[in-house]
């Protein structure tokens, strides 16, 4: 399909709650095109996830793919391309762990965010089939980060210590050896 422009923090679409899709809408060619556009854009930008609001489409659709062969993530972090439509998250364990997060819609910055590390996600897939996914650790963080976009949130909203929001260059120079891995 097409690589789309990624809108940046400050654009009003990023602060809206995305519109849920009906099962009929999920089956339409426009939704398949949207998913392909998200995938193409994510690959072009070097991300591991993206949500429809990031390409200025206020629909409750997000995708994630973590490829360990990229060398950026641990080999055990292997998530094939997944489509999340109308997702709901339930926290199964409130224990939180922090990661340095980045975002295609907040280019050039990194921030340290603590999130619950054991969640259950209920969603529809791209075939409108009801799915449940229980995940822990890094993958739970990635999913929460991407699904936040569907509720008008950005990772910067979740940073508790504002001293841990910085430009990418300073992150790499002064904090890249931090034991908490980075995501974007």
**156 CB-near residues (< 8 Å, 6+ apart):** 9, 106, 109, 111, 165
**155 CB-near residues (< 8 Å, 6+ apart):** 101, 102, 103, 106, 111, 113, 145, 148
Question: Number of structural domains, the chain?
Answer: 1
- 176 band by pLDDT with thresholds 50, 70 and 90: confident
Query: Minimum mean pLDDT among 4-18, 35-49, 70-84: which range?
Result: 70-84
In a domain, 5, yes or no: no
User: Domain containing 69 — which CATH number?
Assistant: 3.90.45.10
In a domain, 1, yes or no: no
DSSP string of 116-160? EEEEEEEEE-TT--EEEEEEEHHHHHHHHHHHHTTBT--GGGG-S
pLDDT mean across residues, the chain: 93
- Is residue 71 a contact partner of residue 85, using CB atoms and an 8 Å limit? no
Question: What does the pLDDT read at residue 77?
Answer: 73
In a domain, 145, yes or no: yes
* Higher-confidence position of 176 and 110: 110
Whether residue 17 is predicted with pLDDT greater than 80 in this model: the reply is yes
In a domain, 84, yes or no: yes
Q: Which two tokens stand for residue 181?
A: 């891995």
What is the pLDDT averaged over residues 67-71?
Answer: 68
Whether residue 68 is predicted with pLDDT greater than 90 in this model: the reply is no
Question: What does the pLDDT read at residue 147?
Answer: 98
Whether residue 74 is predicted with pLDDT greater than 70 in this model: the reply is no
Helix or strand holding residue 39 (H, E):
helix 29-45
Catalytic-role residue among 114, 146, 160, 168: 146
Per the annotation, the verdict on 146 as an active-site residue is yes
Show the domain range for 74. Answer: 12-183
In a domain, 3, yes or no: no
In a domain, 4, yes or no: no
In a domain, 29, yes or no: yes
In a domain, 77, yes or no: yes
Report the percent of the chain where pLDDT is more than 70.
92
């Amino acid at each position: 399909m097409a690589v789309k422009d990624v809108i940046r923090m400050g654009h009003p679409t990023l602060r809206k709650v995305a519109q849920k899709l009906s099962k009929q809408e999920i089956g339409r060619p426009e939704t398949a095109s949207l998913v392909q556009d998200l995938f193409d854009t994510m690959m072009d930008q070097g991300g591991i996830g993206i949500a429809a609001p990031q390409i200025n489409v206020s629909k409750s659709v997000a995708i994630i793919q973590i490829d360990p062969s990229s060398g950026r993530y641990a080999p055990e972090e292997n998530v094939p391309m997944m489509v999340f439509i109308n997702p709901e998250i339930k926290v199964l364990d409130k224990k939180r762990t922090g990661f340095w997060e980045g975002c295609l819609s907040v280019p050039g910055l990194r921030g340290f965010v603590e999130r619950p590390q054991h969640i259950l996600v209920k969603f529809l897939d791209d075939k409108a089939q009801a799915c449940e996914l229980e995940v822990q650790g890094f993958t739970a963080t990635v999913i929460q980060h991407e699904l936040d976009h569907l509720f008008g949130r950005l990772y910067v909203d979740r940073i508790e210590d504002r001293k841990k929001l910085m430009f990418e260059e300073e992150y790499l120079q002064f904090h890249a050896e931090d034991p908490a891995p980075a995501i974007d």
